[in-house]
Amino acid sequence: MNIPYRPLALGLVALVFTGLLLDRAKAGGGHYYPPVTDSVTLQEYGSCHMAFPPAMLPAASWQSMMGDLANHFGDDASVDPDTAARITRYLVANAGDTGGARHAGKLLRGVAQNDAPLPITELPKWVREHREVPRREWASKEVGSRANCPACHVDADRGYFEDD
């Protein structure tokens, strides 16, 4: 009596498995970094530019960056001390060498363990991945800077950085 249900069950298993494979393919394997989920971090950190996933840098980088917000790549990104502390805790807890380590391996390859690289666009893996992008594209009105990931990676805000 259970025999007619077996093909249906196998079909459902195959469908779920295919969905998981397609989702992994979309993530680009090593091109997925969990996006910022903390509301305060997303609001403050993402108010001027994309909120880069914390797994893209080691904890020391986030601590260094958050410790000098008055000189944030040429801008004053200062926030009140409580907000800065909350954002720092979130970024450090999810950094590429802590909570986000599962996703950061490839991007942080070649970075010394005690190093605090800034910015993300100077990481060896980032440079290799983008070496074929012509200078004129970085300077175009649509892109504007190497830090404007969503200009080329339409799902960057969702953590997907595969070529689109």
Q: What's the pLDDT tens digit per position in 55-66? A: 999 999 999 999
Using an 8 Å Cβ cutoff, are 94 and 61 in contact?
no
Q: What's the pLDDT tens digit per position in 77-133? A: 999 999 999 999 999 999 999 988 888 877 888 888 888 999 999 999 999 999 999
Determine the average pLDDT of the residues in 145-152.
92
Closest CA to 105 of 94, 115, 97: 97
pLDDT at 20: 45
Query: Could you tell me which residues come within 8 angstroms of residue 32 by beta carbon, excluding any fewer than 6 positions away?
Result: 103, 159, 160, 161
Three-class SS state of 14 = helix
Span of 19-33, 48-62, 109-123, 147-161 with lowest mean pLDDT: 19-33
